[in-house]
Amino acid sequence: MILVTGGAGFIGGNFVLDWLKDPSNEGIVNLDKLTYAGNLATLESLKDDPRHIFVHGDIGDEVLVAKLLKEHQPRAIVNFAAESHVDRSIHGPADFVSTNIVGTFNLLECAREYWNGLDGAEKKAFRFHHVSTDEVYGSLSATDPAFTETNSYEPNSPYSASKAASDHLVRAWFHTYDFPVVTTNCSNNYGPYHFPEKLIPLVILNALNGKPLPIYGDGQQIRDWLYVGDHCSAIREVLAKGKLGETYNIGGWNEKANIDVVKTICTILDELQPRLDGRSYIEQITYVKDRPGHDRRYAIDASKVERELGWRPAETFDTGIRKTVQWYLDNPDWVEGVVSGSYRDWLQKQYS
């Protein structure tokens, strides 16, 4: 058994589905608080799978976490649980401090106490895998080399600052207590089951609904894009073979400016589901005021995980983005279920 936290969110949900797709893998206890971005519909296909045990709860709940560890005796914890949207962190940073910092601290302490009670081979085999972001490294200029694992931490938003703090806690628990941790810092994920406040699903759904496609500033902010299925495979490799106390950067080797990502989506939609008036979705692009502290460029150098563990992404951006657009076209029921009234209120507040 492994314990997955945040397993009803975007990346965590994809990881749970991917893990349980292999019948040889052990079961999962899935602990999720079900905030606005947690969606049990993502896990609908697992409702009759006895290997999936869902628990509605918070990583900050010490009693609950300790109970789950004692009851299920997991051999590993994979921590996806986090508040993750930069825009929301600007409007309300308290939730990010509570979940990403205090919640991670509580999870570490409960896990350390559980680990200390294990014996022999079980104690030696246990792993705590912390999933983090490239945003902890700050921003790059157009000519700077990509982030490596030795880059200094220079977070620029409440979100990235809270994730940086959680990374430091994980590192400290290894060096102070010999607690068996590994950390991964990933670039921008995209793919199925993505809550439509993030750029790619927002653009797909706004385009299909005839709404403006909001682009911050000049749209030249550059990100490295990682297909979520590739991220899941990298986590499996690091969990299985990663060196204790190490950090591994996970990237897609796909640097793209935001405006180019949006235009690519529009071109694919023009092909797969053309507008009734025959015009291009590109005409819906609308530039809006840039957000405060918007980092100009992120780029991941994923050489270490390839060199040491043999992992590389299977998808290019062209193959991954086409799969993603097609998934949203094929799954209108999931989309309709997630686009609630409160979500529409958020979009109006953010992009008005």
Q: Is 225 helix (H, G, I), strand (E, B) or coil?
A: strand
Q: Please state, in angstroms and rounded to a whole number, the distance separating the CA atoms of residues 246 and 181.
A: 8
Q: Give catalytic status of residue 135 as yes or no.
A: yes
* Distance between CA atoms of residues 257 and 341, nearest Å: 31
| Among 168, 225, 174, residue whose Cα is nearest residue 198 | 225
Distance between start and end Cα atoms, the chain: 46
Q: Where are the alpha helices (DSSP H) in the chain?
A: 10-20, 62-72, 86-91, 94-96, 104-116, 120-125, 158-177, 199-208, 228-241, 258-272, 303-309, 317-330, 332-338, 341-351
Q: Which of 58, 87, 134, 255 is catalytic?
A: 134
Annotation marks residue 281 as catalytic: no
Is the separation of the CB atoms in 285 and 262 below 8 Å? yes
User: Six-digit token pair at 248?
Assistant: 């591994």
CB atoms within 10 A of CB 312: 14
The DSSP letter of residue 295 is -
- The C-alpha atoms of residue 179 and residue 175 are separated, in whole angstroms, by 8
Dmax over CA atoms of the chain, in Å, equals: 68
Q: Which two tokens stand for residue 208?
A: 């299909």
DSSP classification of residue 101: I
Q: Of residues 58, 83, 135, 230, which has the active-site annotation?
A: 135
Q: Which residues pair with 55 in a beta bridge?
A: 31
Q: Would you tell me the crossing angle of helices 258-272 and 317-330 to the nearest 10 degrees?
A: 50
Of 114, 159, 216, 328, which residue is the catalytic one?
A: 159
Distance of alpha carbon 282 from alpha carbon 262, whole angstroms: 8
Q: Catalytic annotation on 134? A: yes
259 SS3 class: helix
Active-site annotation, residues: 134-135, 159
